[in-house]
Chain A
Amino acid sequence: MKGRKVLHSKFYKKTGETLYTEILPNGLTVYYLPKADYNRTYGLFTTNFGSLDTTFIPKGASTFQTFPEGIAHFLEHKLFEKEDGDVMDKFSALGAQTNAFTSFSRTSYLFSTLENSYACTELLLDFVQSPYFTQENVRKEQGIIQQEIQMYQDDSDWRLFAGLLEKMFPASPLAADIAGTPATINAITADDLYKNYEVFYHPTNMNLFLTGPFQVEEMAAFVRENQATKCFEAQEVPLRQELSAAEPKSGEALALEVAMPKLALGLRGEDFLPQEARARMKYKIGNQIFLDLLFGRTSQRYEELYNQGLIDDSFGLSFELDERFHFAVFTGDTENPKKLSETLQEALKSYKIDRDFSEEHLQLLKREMLGDYFSSLNSLEYIASQFSSEIYEDLNFFDLPELLNELTLADIEKSAEQFIKAMKVVTFTIVPK
């Protein structure tokens, strides 16, 4: 990526927002979204590195090496601890709140503050860019993370989703808990953390998103200067091992102390994703709309299933898409998981003759999605997180209204057909003990 010492801007007339973008000489991509009438500044610093990246070629090596599961999340926790204390204290001293999270493909660090926005931005950049790992501080974190894992173990909806992933992508990093297990995190060493850090926490693999009532030119100059004082060796794009999973295992169940059975129906994507950015974004939105047409709250099918008592308000669906995997998932509490699963699968097979798969219904959903888009602009966190996860080259979250407008029923049928023809169906159930 070439560095451009210039702020690119794009004005979105409808909402009156302007998005500024800059790629720094060291490769870091920065986004600024001024919000003059908001009280606080929100910053999100993200690396394209997550729980899936346990196997890669370390710096100076020539073969793949596998690290313990949960290492990306562990690293996220550890980055807050420095030789002179906890970074959280420093943010608190500035009156700011801070947090971080790890997902399959990304790790993000954030701050939210009323004042001292420049000091917070500097602290965010500096603490993420100066790792400090010792055997002692690694050992201490293991206890805390173990409890985090335990907390999620008791969340039956989390167990449902995690169980489905395990059966849908067996023997792959997707089957593992993002935080790992007590055994795997006990195996993590400070040296491991450095090896991961130096490959993935490089500016070329990261982006910064800042939004709030600051002056863009000033903030941009500030960020440029901060980054110019640091030295990053030029490096290759991280070489990650391809994601490959074993055959899915459908029909399994887990007994837990829950009030009602829970069904998770997964559709593992096996088709090849469009490579071009616009086409890929349309493929993703298209399949999301496809599922909403057939099974969303405005569909006849939802009405029937709800009235029959096969689903209730806990019923939900989504389409997840990442470079390395894509799948659809339906979850919900139900007295009859088998019947619900069969009904959903039948509907998918016969979508072409489904009365909800219509132009009229599509227009209705487009209206809804457009309104949702505008409403979501109220939330700085939401905008920032969309930017950290939904970037396809030059296309981003703000391009949604335009893409939505272009999407036709024929487009949606094309991507749905492509997905359905190749997909693998997986069910996983939680039953009361």
Chain B
Amino acid sequence: MTDFKRKDGVHLHVIKETKFKTVRMMVRFREEITPGNLGKRVLLSNLLETTNAIYPTGKAFSRRLSELFGASFTTGVAKKGKQHLLSLNMTVVNPALVDFDTLKAGVDFLRAVLFAPDVKDGAFNPFIFKREQTNLIHYLEAMNDDRAYYASRQLAQEFFKDPKQALPSVGTVELIERETPQAVFDYYQEMLKTNVIDIFVLGDVDEARVHKLFSDFDFAQNVENSSFKEDKAATQVLEHTDLFYEQELTERSVLTEAKAATQSILQLGYHLPVQYGDANYMTLQVLNGLLGGFAHSKLFKNVREKESLAYSISSTFDSFTGFLKIAAGIDAVNFEAARELIAAQLEALQEGDFSPADLEQTKTMLRNTYLVGQDSISNTIELEYVKALLPERYLPTEVFLSQLTAVSAEEVARLAQKLTLQVEYFMKGTVGMNEREESLAQ
């Protein structure tokens, strides 16, 4: 892996890897979650994905990608702790497979997207803006059709006491509705100048060539701005408190709501006092694996397999926001039984009630998942990104694996005792299985 620290502060990471048939390029913009900017960023992710001054129609845009042998260009937004990420992803097939310089053409395409937006009189094309704004609003409204997503949102909103942290990475209808073509374009200029920018390229490439191909990307970054400290030559420093979200323990809240759905959803949010890279971070990985991370986990084996109380059940955590969640799809009539049995699984872990075999199995699965992740382009890039964000906390492979092996049963039980239930959310489905909706003839 070669890191190029450019004069303008933009960090170019090139990972040479010969096993894939494609080359992936990602340009990522980072800033602290700011409600006033959130709607703008999400709108940008849509606008940049549809048209620009060089490819002014969706058709021209798509045609160019087809011409580049089915190249794909997508954008996405996400949160990492207190930071908001806007990413542009370009994937091209290896030049050698199609006897065509798809790499250069891909970089040219990225240049067009970034530096030739469809703008007139200092604002985004109003027709395109309106269309994308409308589609985005519809999309956000439709997201709630996904009951599991809706339940997760309700839980997050109740759990995170800081309203900024409770906001979803895709923003809200209100935040998007109020934006204008002018305001979003003004922000875009700002974003290019002041966001922390990382570019990743992964594939069978020549590092020096890639560096050269990106050399004329002028982000007009102000090297005096707060995101680049000239004296830290090797890395851009991100303050710990600017990344990791923490909150105090609060009173437990219980929410129930009825929804016209066949399946009911139960979600539990726990306060998690562990951060990525902490001494007990690997213990957390093992704890989560034992609890509900794998098919041999307590939740899966006891709640689903043994008692048939849930079809889908799992536990997940976010070590950048201090949050652990258990989610289950259940039948409303089994609510009490499921809730109790789920609580009992965590209690069992707290009491050390799990076998050495289970512990070993969990470590094996974690190790295997980690190593198999090296077959994934996205996974590889995301790990490199964390390394760029937190160079001191990053766990290289040998460290990850040796710390994993060292995790003891006592440590797992002790950590389980530190989880505190903060929110219980129950979405009660009100549609019976035998009810068939009335069919309407149009």
Residues of chain A whose beta carbon lies under 8 Å from any beta carbon of chain B: 14-15, 37-40, 86, 88-89, 91-93, 95-98, 112-115, 140-141, 143-151, 153-156, 182, 251-260, 296-300, 302-303, 306-307, 309, 312-314, 333, 338, 364-365, 367-372, 374-375, 377-378, 380, 429, 431, 433
Chain B, residues 351-369, CB within 8 Å of chain A (1/0): the string is 0000000000100110110
Q: Contacts A147-B263, A150-B262, A375-B91; is A140 near B71 (CB within 8 Å)?
A: no
Chain B residue nearest in CB terms to A303: B59
B368 close to A255 (CB less than 8 A):
no
From B139, B311, B371, B440, contact of A255 by CB (8 A) = B440
Q: Is B330 an interface residue (CB 8 A)?
A: yes
A407 CB to nearest B CB, Å: 16
A259 close to B145 (CB less than 8 A):
yes
CB neighbors of A among B29-68 (8 A) = 57-59, 62-63, 65-68
A371 close to B71 (CB less than 8 A):
yes
A364 close to B70 (CB less than 8 A):
no
Q: Identify which of B229-237, B276-284, B431-439 touches chain A.
A: B431-439
Q: Identify which of B16-24, B156-164, B248-256 touches chain A.
A: B16-24
Q: List 20 contacting pairs A-B, 8 Å CB cutoff, sorted by A.
A: A39-B372, A39-B374, A97-B295, A115-B368, A143-B309, A145-B311, A148-B311, A154-B262, A154-B429, A253-B439, A255-B437, A257-B145, A257-B259, A258-B145, A260-B138, A260-B142, A296-B62, A297-B59, A314-B142, A374-B69
Apart from A143-B309, A251-B442, A298-B59: 18 A-B pairs, beta carbons within 8 A: A15-B21, A39-B374, A89-B296, A91-B295, A113-B368, A150-B311, A151-B311, A154-B147, A253-B441, A259-B138, A302-B62, A307-B131, A333-B138, A338-B442, A367-B67, A371-B92, A371-B93, A378-B21
Assembled-state Cα–Cα distance A149/B431 (Å): 13
Chain B, residues 142-168, CB within 8 Å of chain A (1/0): the string is 101111000000000000000000000
Assembled-state Cα–Cα distance A300/B60 (Å): 10
Give me the 9 closest cross-chain CB pairs, A-B, nearest first. Answer: A371-B69, A371-B70, A143-B308, A147-B311, A259-B141, A297-B62, A37-B19, A368-B66, A368-B70
A309 close to B131 (CB less than 8 A):
yes
Q: Contacts A38-B375, A150-B331; is A313 near B135 (CB within 8 Å)?
A: yes
Write out the residue numbers on chain A whose beta carbons fall within 8 Å of the beta carbon of B91: 375
Using a Cβ cutoff of 8 Å, how many contacts connect chains A and B? 196
Write out the residue numbers on chain A whose beta carbons fall within 8 Å of the beta carbon of B21: 15, 374-375, 377-378
A333 close to B142 (CB less than 8 A):
yes
A307 CB to nearest B CB, Å: 7
CB neighbors of A among B324-366 (8 A) = 329-331, 361, 364-365
A73 CB to nearest B CB, Å: 13
Q: Contacts A154-B429, A374-B94; is A369 near B70 (CB within 8 Å)?
A: yes
A37 close to B70 (CB less than 8 A):
no
Chain B residue nearest in CB terms to A356: B59
A368 close to B377 (CB less than 8 A):
no
B329 close to A147 (CB less than 8 A):
yes
Assembled-state Cα–Cα distance A380/B376 (Å): 11
A38 close to B67 (CB less than 8 A):
no
Write out the residue numbers on chain B whose beta carbons fall within 8 Å of the beta carbon of A303: 57-59
Chain A residue nearest in CB terms to B69: A371
Candidate in B62, B72, B92 with the most chain A CB atoms within 10 angstroms: B62
User: How many chain B residues touch A (Cβ–Cβ < 8 Å)?
Assistant: 73
B263 close to A151 (CB less than 8 A):
yes
From B69, B145, B331, contact of A156 by CB (8 A) = B145
A398 CB to nearest B CB, Å: 13
Assembled-state Cα–Cα distance A309/B130 (Å): 11
Assembled-state Cα–Cα distance A370/B371 (Å): 30
B368 close to A300 (CB less than 8 A):
no
B93 close to A375 (CB less than 8 A):
yes
B97 close to A114 (CB less than 8 A):
no
Write out the residue numbers on chain A whose beta carbons fall within 8 Å of the beta carbon of B71: 371
A371 CB to nearest B CB, Å: 3
Assembled-state Cα–Cα distance A50/B225 (Å): 61
A317 CB to nearest B CB, Å: 14
Assembled-state Cα–Cα distance A145/B310 (Å): 10
A372 close to B70 (CB less than 8 A):
yes
A90 CB to nearest B CB, Å: 10
Write out the residue numbers on chain B whose beta carbons fall within 8 Å of the beta carbon of A38: 19, 375
Chain B, residues 276-315, CB within 8 Å of chain A (1/0): the string is 0000000000000000001110000000110011111000
Assembled-state Cα–Cα distance A209/B181 (Å): 52
Assembled-state Cα–Cα distance A298/B68 (Å): 13
From B62, B329, B441, contact of A298 by CB (8 A) = B62
Chain B, residues 4-19, CB within 8 Å of chain A (1/0): the string is 0000000000000011
Write out the residue numbers on chain B whose beta carbons fall within 8 Å of the beta carbon of A182: 433-434
Write out the residue numbers on chain A whose beta carbons fall within 8 Å of the beta carbon of B371: 39-40, 114
Assembled-state Cα–Cα distance A433/B144 (Å): 14
Chain A residue nearest in CB terms to B97: A374
Write out the residue numbers on chain A whose beta carbons fall within 8 Å of the beta carbon of B294: 92
Assembled-state Cα–Cα distance A365/B70 (Å): 8
Write out the residue numbers on chain A whose beta carbons fall within 8 Å of the beta carbon of B437: 254-256
A260 close to B70 (CB less than 8 A):
no
A375 close to B22 (CB less than 8 A):
yes
Assembled-state Cα–Cα distance A113/B368 (Å): 7
Candidate in A15, A38, A95 with the most chain B CB atoms within 10 angstroms: A95
Write out the residue numbers on chain B whose beta carbons fall within 8 Å of the beta carbon of A312: 135, 138-139
From A259, A306, A369, contact of B144 by CB (8 A) = A259
Q: Contacts A38-B19, A92-B296, A150-B433; is A252 near B440 (CB within 8 Å)?
A: yes
Chain B residue nearest in CB terms to A299: B59
Q: Is B220 an interface residue (CB 8 A)?
A: no
A304 CB to nearest B CB, Å: 9
B216 CB to nearest A CB, Å: 26
Write out the residue numbers on chain A whose beta carbons fall within 8 Å of the beta carbon of B305: 86, 144
Write out the residue numbers on chain B whose beta carbons fall within 8 Å of the beta carbon of A367: 66-67, 69-70
Assembled-state Cα–Cα distance A252/B439 (Å): 7
Assembled-state Cα–Cα distance A431/B142 (Å): 13
A140 close to B58 (CB less than 8 A):
no
Q: Contacts A38-B19, A253-B442, A368-B70; is A306 near B260 (CB within 8 Å)?
A: no
Assembled-state Cα–Cα distance A253/B437 (Å): 10
Q: Contacts A151-B312, A312-B139; is A95 near B131 (CB within 8 Å)?
A: no
Q: Is B399 an interface residue (CB 8 A)?
A: no
Assembled-state Cα–Cα distance A115/B139 (Å): 42
Write out the residue numbers on chain B whose beta carbons fall within 8 Å of the beta carbon of A260: 138, 141-142
B97 close to A147 (CB less than 8 A):
no
From A146, A254, A297, contact of B439 by CB (8 A) = A254
A252 close to B441 (CB less than 8 A):
yes
Assembled-state Cα–Cα distance A37/B305 (Å): 36
Write out the residue numbers on chain A whose beta carbons fall within 8 Å of the beta carbon of B69: 367-368, 370-371, 374
Chain A residue nearest in CB terms to B440: A253
Q: Is B226 an interface residue (CB 8 A)?
A: no
From B18, B93, B442, contact of A252 by CB (8 A) = B442
